């Protein structure tokens, strides 16, 4: 089992940056592929970015490609999402998720591929 706790959300103006963190409990973090998803009010949860267990492969939604960077520090059991050039449409609750299965693309784009979820952190981008 792994428990995930996100932090780093907040209110930022359009064009600004935020860095989200997701700390995982347990000693097997390095064996999990990780993802970030987001959910805006009235909308379905959508894929943002994912990273394989080693960090060797990363995947992004088209809407964030070139602006967001996913990374991980396996020594610190931590997943990151650096968000730059934020837009009002990035406003959502952001969730990190983990899967112990050896998934790559396209499975890592799908929420049902993940076994463990954090509680979410709110990101609000004002125009």
Residue-wise pLDDT for 44-96, tens only, equals 999 999 999 988 999 999 999 999 999 999 999 999 999 999 999 999 999 99
User: Who's near 117: CB < 8 A, 6+ residues apart?
Assistant: 4, 95, 96, 97, 98
Question: Distance (Å, rounded) from C-alpha 97 to C-alpha 110?
Answer: 11
C-alpha to C-alpha distances, 88 to 70, 91, 92, nearest whole angstrom: 20, 6, 9
Distance in angstroms (rounded) separating the CA atoms of residues 25 and 83: 24
pLDDT score for 27: 72
> Quick one: average pLDDT of 106-122?
96
What is the mean pLDDT of the segment spanning 102-114?
Answer: 93
């Amino acid at each position: 089992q792994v428990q995930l706790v996100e932090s780093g959300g907040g209110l930022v103006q359009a064009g600004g940056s935020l860095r989200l963190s997701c700390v995982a409990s347990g000693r097997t973090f390095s064996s999990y592929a990780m993802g970030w998803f987001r959910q805006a009010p009235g909308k379905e949860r959508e894929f943002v970015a994912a990273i394989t267990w080693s960090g060797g492969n990363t995947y992004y939604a088209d809407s964030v490609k070139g602006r967001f960077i996913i990374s991980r520090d396996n020594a610190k059991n931590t997943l990151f999402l650096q968000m730059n050039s934020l837009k009002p449409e990035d406003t959502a609750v952001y969730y990190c998720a983990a899967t112990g299965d050896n998934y790559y693309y396209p499975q890592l784009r799908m929420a049902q591929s993940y076994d463990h979820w954090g509680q979410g952190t709110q990101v609000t981008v004002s125009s």
